[in-house]
Chain A
Amino acid sequence: MLNDPQHYVTGVLNRDRLTLARTITLIESTHPNHQQLAQTIVDRLLPYTGRGIRIGITGVPGAGKSTYIERFGTMLTGLGHRVAVLAIDPSSSRSGGSILGDKTRMERLAVDPNAFIRPSPSGGTLGGVGRKTRETMLVCEAAGYDVVIIETVGVGQSETTVASMVDFFLVLMIAGAGDELQGMKKGVLEVADAIVINKADGDNLLRAEIAQKEYQTALHMRMANSPNWCPPVLTCSAVEGKGIDKIWETILDHRDKLTVSGEMAEKRKTQALDWMAFLIDEGLRHWFYTSPHVREALPTLRRNVEENKTSPTAAADSLLAFLYTRNGR
């Protein structure tokens, strides 16, 4: 690993695939030296970011996310766009390893010279996904990718984190997924800018249209989170390539409406502030849990709580109080 940040900055700006890939590795690394180096690189690249359209895509397993992105992405490169796809794969909680198989379902996009696909292991920490992915997205923008797609599996909490860093958040559904709707965090639908019912093809077409109506009703019942945008429910068939262009039109329409009204600029500002707040939270937690006193006291306290010798509240208070005194307050 080279240690000169400028090497990476120049490479990324020159759109060199290898350097971009290695920069992302640095961003994802848990090694303190790599993190520091990555921070410098991202800071230097910051002036070149912000010009892309940022799209988040989530959906229940089996909704056809990868197949959808294959179609959607190749359509966009066909229109002259440069597309980056960041796919977050859950890591096994037992071994820590992951299977990163997204590209097997993006066969054409994977070999497209105007596309860059990077599957990333979630590494088990949700906060980590947020931090890494956001910075990776910025670096991809700096490397000239004007559409950045972030794909997550719709089973955890990472969706809302992703929604808070993109311009447009698309939730992919399939007909007959009523249970999944329950299972998916309600919050995911609340942050959706569009719901797309995939697999609207063959003998599934009718069911997809019924599902469309159901989701429309469901969306009507929630509070609008934008004065300028009412999230539509669309149908498509990623396998047959139907309805994909309509979704892109919807994204562009959303962008126009929010840009004209000034909401887009506000949104990105809010996202930046939220991001800062998030980093402070994460930093505080890290600082708290790695301080030697906490590390020392915590195991005993946990045991006491487990054995009912101390109440959880009292245990938490004593730890926090310890920090007050330590900081002279």
Chain B
Amino acid sequence: MAQHPQLPKWTEIAEKQMKGKSVETLSWMTPEGIKVKPLYTAEDLEGMESANTLPGMAPYVRGPMATMYTGRPWTIRQYAGFSTAKESNAFYHKALAAGQKGLSVAFDLATHRGYDSDHPRVAGDIGKAGVAIDSVEDMKILFNGIPLDQMSVSMTMNGAVIPILAGYIVAAEEQGVAHDKLEGTIQNDILKEYLTRNTYIYPPTPSMRVISDIMAYCSREMPKYNTISISGYHMMEAGANSVLQTAFTLADGVEYVKAALKSGMDVDTFAPRLSFFFGIGMNFFMDIAMLRAARFLWYRLMSQFNPKNAKSSMLRTHCQTSGWSLTEQDPHNNIIRTTLEAMTAALGGTQSLHTNSFDEAIGLPTDFSARIARNTQIIIQEESQICHVIDPLGGSYYLESLTNSIINESQKIIDEINELGGMAKAIESGMPKMRIEESAARKQARIDQGLDVIVGVNKYKLANEKIDFEVREVPATVRDEQIARIKEIKASRDNVAVERALADLTNAAKNGGNLLEAALPAVRARATVGEISTAMESVFGRFVATTRCISGAYSSEYTGDNNAVTAIKQRTNVFLEKQGRRPRLLVTKMGQDGHDRGFKVVASAYADLGFDVDISPMFQTPEEAAKMAIENDVHLVGASSLAAGHKSLIPALIEELKKIGGGEILVVAGGIIPPGDYDFLYKAGVKAIFGPGTPIPESADKTLALLEEKYLQ
């Protein structure tokens, strides 16, 4: 490659300034394995296919629309759902009045997994991480006073997509809105659920059929509706770096396209309705480049299907700022982090954006924190003047180089996936999951060593943390309210008609027929979400998660001679010598919360520190977790909770342990737990609580100290 004629001279000056050290030492290797130089020049862009293109034209690096934000800025779409349909509805009305365009509904985990609120497995999950929806009656309350023919509605739903989408359609029908007026997006991205988020219901094959059926129905009935939002966000949240996020997300997309083609659809009937969802982290330029690279690659990948409609190979995306980058410590810093990430999404050319509330590492957003989050976007759009120019960073030597590097690195992984036979096969092989977990463990190790700085967590820590703002509480009565309404519905509906409609749905699952279409009569007859899910589950079965966990990644990234780590390894060895076995702990996730990154990073890192770590299956009840703790005879149970179920599930675990003779087993908790709940949990018998961002050596040190106190004194 040619170099700038004056580069040798610059090198000379620079090295003089560095007192003789080579400029090479200023290069930085990113977590993606991309080498970033201290200086880029026009020569770096020579021969680059992705540089100097135009927006609205293939390969769409600079944006899918010709005018981008100069015509209309991105849609401010805040994801929200609170406990009950009524409360969420009130929140939506307030947000719309305050300048938000478009709604985005968060459902609770019981709904995601296709359970009604009265199901015993989900007692700890109702209304916790989003709104509880049991039937179309709840759906109608959710959208009360919101004309669905004028409002674009995005729904984050992947497991129970059939009853929820059908519920939305029927709620609209009963508002008098025709199907073809409906506008919005359903996430409907099941492949990534098997990779990271785990809110699936059925095994992969029937789940892929569900998606094809939805695409087929909507391409016919709801032409303005986006039938899928292919999501990398959750991969990033699970620890994937930007190259992994790009490669796996696009590979998922290709798999959906293939499934739709296989079901007999023409590529141009559905491909224009495919939308994407990327997560934006703190690596400012990297993620701007990521969005540009993703558009380029999607265009390239779609070419193999020979679409006639240009829109078929145009990547349109929603973005969300990273939840992982939010800290529980000194939480007002999160406003600044979110602002930077929102800038990244805007400069990367997103079509819509959700900005997180600063208190999300502590609890669910309040009206106040939601307002600040929303205003973050409004201020960028309306005060910063950045919307006047399309892709303003296009042509930046650095950014274009980075874009090109992500294209190349992602393509390598996509090629690897193709060799495995596509993403579905790759997921079966466990490859993507292992890569993400490895990336997560490495990131954790870098944070714990202070190589990745997080202000307030591993640098510039506050001496005294104090929460001086309101934290939202989920009322304990939500479950009772939902159960009462289910009873009411079941008593007032025509049960014969419900049975018949459900039998028809089961029949469609067994013998073919469009599942979404077959579910509509059941929804109209007031069948519940749980009943509809079960009607299909009786044919498809319920998918059982395979949890794999890699070891060694944490310690191999933890390179420096770190005394904390060595000391813990020594202490686990001393424990082994004195007790005859290593400290043994069970890490468990109870309830329907499927976020398993933290729990796996902890398992992997603790094993690297010399603990024996048992991992429980996902979605445990407290009884099941206690049985496993007893049977494996562990010293300690670590319960991970990220979805607000901690106040009921963890005390229940402690009670159950006592009941079956395991009273001496210690219990610690980790995850997103509002500091206001700490005392409650300590009183219930929890020995230690580790909030988000706790360095592993710190939590391991405390955990080990608890065990040493109990067993070695």
Interface residue ranges, A against B (CB under 8 Å): 17-18, 21-22, 24-25, 28-31, 34-35, 62, 67, 70, 91-92, 94-101, 103-108, 110-111, 116-119, 121
Contact = CB atoms under 8 A, between A and B. Distances in A.
A104 B546 contact: yes
Contact of A99 (B549, B572, B573, B631): B549
Contacts of A28: 580-581
B633 A25 contact: yes
A29 B581 contact: yes
Nearest to A121: B612
Given A22-B633, A95-B555, A96-B576, A111 B627 contact: yes
A116 B630 CA distance: 11
Interface stretch (B55-63, B615-623, B702-710): B615-623
**Most chain B beta-carbon contacts within 10 A, residue among A22, A67, A95:** A95
B552 interface: yes
B632 A121 contact: no
B456 interface: no
A98 B355 CA distance: 39
A97 B610 contact: yes
B624 interface: yes
A106 B631 CA distance: 14
Contact of B572 (A18, A25, A29, A97): A97
Contacts of A35: 580
| Secondary structure call for the A interface | mixed
Contact of A101 (B547, B579, B608, B610): B547
13 contacts: A35-B580, A92-B607, A92-B608, A97-B607, A97-B612, A97-B613, A98-B613, A99-B613, A99-B615, A110-B617, A116-B631, A117-B631, A121-B612
Nearest to B568: A95
B160 to A, nearest CB: 20
B262 to A, nearest CB: 13
Contacts of A101: 547-549, 603, 614-615
B582 interface: yes
B624 to A, nearest CB: 5
Interface string B554-580: 010000000000000100110011111
B572 A96 contact: yes
A284 B610 CA distance: 29
Given A17-B627, A105-B546, A105-B547, 15 more contacts: A28-B580, A31-B580, A67-B546, A95-B569, A96-B573, A97-B572, A98-B613, A100-B613, A101-B603, A103-B614, A105-B544, A107-B545, A111-B627, A117-B631, A118-B632
Contact of B608 (A25, A29, A95, A106): A95
B661 to A, nearest CB: 4
A94 B573 CA distance: 12
Contacts of A96: 572-573, 576, 582, 610
A26 B262 CA distance: 57
Nearest to A20: B631
B624 A111 contact: yes
A104 B616 contact: yes
Given A94-B552, A97-B609, A97-B611, A30 B581 contact: yes
A94 B565 CA distance: 13
A123 B459 CA distance: 37
Contacts of A31: 578-581
Contacts of B684: none
A90 to B, nearest CB: 9
B604 A21 contact: no
Interface in B656-683: 660-662
Contacts of A62: 429-430
B644 to A, nearest CB: 23
A91 B610 CA distance: 9
Contacts of A117: 631
A110 B624 contact: yes
Closest 5 CB pairs of A and B: A31-B580, A29-B580, A104-B547, A97-B607, A21-B633
A98 B630 CA distance: 18
Contact of A95 (B607, B615, B616): B607
**Most chain B beta-carbon contacts within 10 A, residue among A34, A99, A106, A107:** A99
Contacts of B611: 97
A97 B615 CA distance: 13
Contacts of A111: 624, 627
B638 to A, nearest CB: 14
Contacts, number: 123
Given A17-B631, A18-B630, A99 B580 contact: no
**Most chain A beta-carbon contacts within 10 A, residue among B573, B577, B614:** B614
B53 interface: no
B607 A104 contact: no
B582 A97 contact: yes
Interface string B324-353: 000000000000000000000000000000
B551 interface: yes
Interface in B579-613: 579-582, 603-604, 606-613
Contact of A104 (B430, B555, B615, B630): B615
Contacts of A67: 546
B36 interface: no
A111 B618 CA distance: 13
B628 interface: yes
**Most chain B beta-carbon contacts within 10 A, residue among A18, A24, A100, A108:** A100
Nearest to B620: A111
A92 B551 contact: yes
Contacts of A121: 582, 612
A99 B616 CA distance: 11
Contacts of B548: 101
A104 B545 contact: yes
A34 B577 CA distance: 12
A18 B660 contact: yes
B435 to A, nearest CB: 16
Contacts of A97: 551, 572, 582, 606-613
Nearest to B619: A107
A113 to B, nearest CB: 9
**Most chain B beta-carbon contacts within 10 A, residue among A91, A101, A105, A110:** A101
B580 A30 contact: yes
A70 B546 CA distance: 12
A104 B582 CA distance: 21
Given A94-B552, A107-B544, A21 B610 contact: no
A204 to B, nearest CB: 10
Nearest to A23: B633
B366 to A, nearest CB: 36
A18 B545 contact: no
A95 B631 contact: no
A25 B581 contact: yes
B580 A100 contact: no
Contacts of B577: 30
A62 B420 CA distance: 15
B581 A110 contact: no
Nearest to B611: A97
A2 to B, nearest CB: 12
B572 A92 contact: no
B633 A99 contact: no
Contacts of B569: 95
B546 A99 contact: no
A92 B552 CA distance: 8
Given A95-B608, A96-B610, A17 B582 contact: no
Nearest to B621: A111
Contacts of A104: 545-547, 615-618
Contacts of B615: 99-101, 103-104
Given A30-B580, A97-B610, A110-B628, A103 B617 contact: yes
A278 B555 CA distance: 36
A21 B660 CA distance: 13
Contacts of B631: 17, 21, 116-118
Contacts of A119: 614, 632
Contacts of B617: 103-107, 110
A21 B633 CA distance: 6
Interface string B519-554: 000000000000000000000000011111101100
